[in-house]
Structures are given as C-alpha cells and as structure tokens.
Amino acid sequence: MVAAFSDPIWRKPQAAPAFRSELPSGGTLDAVIIGGGIMGLSTALHAARAGLSVQVLDAGAIGQGASGLNGGQVIPGLKYDPDWLIEHFGKERGEALVEFAASTADAVFDVIRDEKLAVPFTRNGWIQAAHTETALTAAANRDRQWRSRGADVELLDQAGIAAMTGAKGYFGGWLDRRAGVIDPLSYTLELARVGLAAGARITEQQRVVKLSKDADVWRISTQGGAELRARSVVLATNAYTDGLLPGLAQTIVPLHSFQIATAPLPAELAAGILPGGQAVSDSRRILVYYRRSPDGRMVLGGRGGMALPSSAADWAHCERALIRLYPALAGIAIEKRWFGRVALTPDHLPHLHEPEKGLLAVVGCQGRGVGLMSALGKRMASYLASGDARQLPFPLSPIKPIPFHAFRQVGVAAAITWYRVLDAFER
C-alpha cells in the first residue's frame, strides 16, 4: 500500500483487538489456514463450530488486505448465468453450482444475523446497469433465467433505472434484491472476533515461508521460526498469493481496484442519488461500481493501473466516471482514495486445488469476494470436517499456470487501455 493513499472510509475501530493467539508448541491441529481475509476467517469460524482445532496465520494485520479494502458490495451469483453453468458443468454439477451461486449473499447476511455481528449493512439489492442496448438484452436474458428459478429480481427500463440510481446514461438494468452492502472491514474484524470465540486461533504478523509433509501431517514454518503441525492446510491468500505453493501465483492475474469517496453529500443532492440504498455495477468492459456509505458519501471504484499509485492523479479515472454519472457532484470534494488487489482467473471462475492430500488452495474472487468467499469458507469447513468432496461447490482442479504468465500483466494493461477506448465510444 502507499501510505498517503491507503485510508479507506472503512476505519478500524479504536478498540479493535489485535489478533495474537499464542502459537501451539506441540500437538497436531486439524487445520492451519494461511490468510486471514474473508475466505480464511469464514473457514475458521465454521470449522471451529464443527469442533475442529484451527489456527489462522496472516502475514499482515486482519483487515489489511482486500477483505477490508473492497467496496462492501454483497452480490449473489457468479460471472456466468445459470444456463451457462449447467451447459458447462453438466446438469447435476451445474444445478448444484446454480444453487450455491444463489446462496452467496445469504451466507453473509445469515452470519451477521446468527452470530450477531456488529456490522453496518443494508439489504435492498444490487443493480447491474446497462450502458448499451446490447447490455440490456443480456440483462433481460439473465432476468429470465433467475426469475424462472424463483429469484427476487426485476428488469428495469430506462425510467426505472434513472429513478433508482439518479445516474445519467443508462438504457436500463437489472435489480437483484438478494444483494446488499456492508462495511467490509467491520465484517472482516467481526468474523475474526466470533471465530476466536468459537475456539479458532488467529495470529497476525505470521508469514508462512515453508510447507512440508511428514507422513500424513503437514509442517508449517513461519518467518519467525515457529513450526506448526496440521492434518490439513488451506491457502486462502487469493490476490496476495506468493510462491509458497509452487505454480499457484501463476494461475491468477492480480489487478488493482481503485476507489474514491466524496465528502458527505448535502441533503439536496443526496435525495436523488440511490435513494433506496442499492449498490450498482455497470456493464462496461472496464466497469465501475458504486454505492452510498452509511455516513452519506458516494463511494465509487474501478480498475486501476497495474503499477502502484504515486499521486492523487492515479484516481482521476474514478473521478471522471463519478462526474459522468452524476454531473451535480462536480463541486463535491474527494476526501478518500485507496486501492486493493483482486484476483482474476482466465475462465473467470474460482479455482479450488488439492495438489496433495490435505493441502488446499482457493483463488479467484473475480470481484465478488464478499459473498463468494463467505459461502466458500463454510463449504471448505464442511470438507475439512468430512473429507467429502461433494461439500465443495466447484470441482477440485489441478494447478495450471497461465502460459507466459510473466508477460500476462503487460497484456492485461494493454487490454484495459483498449477496452477503455471501446467503452468511451460505445452506445
């Protein structure tokens, strides 16, 4: 992170605890989870509830990574619609995946309710805004598929989306009422808090540097010289994946997502902007996403440059998008700028790997990590407890590094530039 530009509106409470569980000096744990983001913490909570002995290790601080830096949009589903999933994975696996995809937002709001998490949230839906007639046709197809499965969704015409968003330039859109927004940092910290209360150990500032296997037990070595033993290891580092598991980092393309937040909006402006409290993502190739914050700010994010930012000018594309959508906000100050990483896979699906028995890895949120990783963590905990791979919604797949991965980001950067040009001229 760049210190001058890493201050999201989601602030860690002054009384937030440090997570410094003492590392076990002997014995064998059921699972060590590497990565204390939403995926790792959800897995730890549900595994501890199932009676497993669990240790979470994070190289930094809980909430410091993407789990505490994202926009807090809780969106069900995957990048693909139900019909595609069934065609691609077959009827049995595909239908199970559709059911799982439909449940991912529930996984977040259910745990907030059931565990009594102190997390600000609104569950009034998410709008996928169509910026072209072609995108609106795709939205109508998506609406048909989910509506036939009983989802609480609605196709919006041009007047409808203008009324719900107050934004300019959309032909229509799609409202999914299963979705909502949360404070992602509070959610991450609260998952850690209740995970501890359930019996999981959570220790920050513990970078894992080596994994080895002795018979059926994994040895986990940290940079500080500690060594733990566990029957299973779960790598939940996603876009922050390093070389700990050979080849895994080369299966994803980590990108930066940049966000801005305005000053709290004056009442006369706020009244006509997202009056129902929905989140929005648009249909552009290089999409933008936005929402209102609990204290009345506009929060907007989008794909950033491949290099680390060095000045406020690196967020100019977000500011231009905000004014394009809401010209009346041209005089409102931008008070916060920050960024985090997201991980994309070539097929735009999450990947689950188990290259050796008891060694598991999950990568590829595709920008929907809050709901997806909350739900996947619960399924991963069931797999750890039962050993039954049917508990996992996605098939376990081999680790397949992307060819010429070292040059992949150069290609992605060029594609982003080209897509921005196409988006600018498309109608």
* In a domain? residue 411: no
* In a domain? residue 425: no
* In a domain? residue 164: no
Q: What pLDDT is recorded for position 2?
A: 39
Q: What pLDDT is recorded for position 1?
A: 35
- Cα–Cα dist 208/311, whole Å: 32
Q: What pLDDT is recorded for position 18?
A: 82
The 3-state DSSP class for residue 39 equals helix
- Cα–Cα dist 156/163, whole Å: 10
* In a domain? residue 337: yes
Per-residue pLDDT of the chain (427 residues; tens, 9 = 90+): 333 456 789 877 766 678 999 999 899 999 999 999 999 999 999 999 999 999 999 999 999 998 999 999 999 989 999 999 999 999 999 999 999 999 999 999 999 999 999 999 999 999 999 999 999 999 999 999 999 999 999 999 999 999 999 999 999 999 999 999 999 999 999 999 999 999 999 999 999 999 999 999 999 999 999 999 999 999 999 989 999 999 999 999 888 899 999 999 999 999 999 999 999 999 886 789 999 999 999 999 998 777 788 899 999 999 999 999 999 999 999 999 999 888 889 899 999 999 999 999 999 988 789 999 999 999 999 999 999 999 999 999 999 998 856 645 554 454 444 334 444 445 4
* In a domain? residue 34: yes
* In a domain? residue 109: yes
- Cα–Cα dist 35/286, whole Å: 28
Q: What pLDDT is recorded for position 17?
A: 72
CATH code for the domain of 38: 3.50.50.60
* In a domain? residue 324: yes
Q: What pLDDT is recorded for position 304?
A: 79
The 3-state DSSP class for residue 267 equals helix
- Cα–Cα dist 387/409, whole Å: 37
* In a domain? residue 54: yes
Q: What pLDDT is recorded for position 14?
A: 66
Residue 278 structural domain: 3-125+178-406
DSSP single-letter state for residue 266: P
Q: Which of 22, 37, 376, 44 is nearest to 233 (CA)?
A: 44
Q: Which of 301, 411, 396, 400 is nearest to 358 (CA)?
A: 396
DSSP strand pairing (180-182 vs 73-74): antiparallel
At residue 416, what is the residue type? Answer: I
CA torsion angle 364 380 242 315 (round to 10): 40
Q: What pLDDT is recorded for position 366?
A: 82
**What is the domain count for the chain?**
1
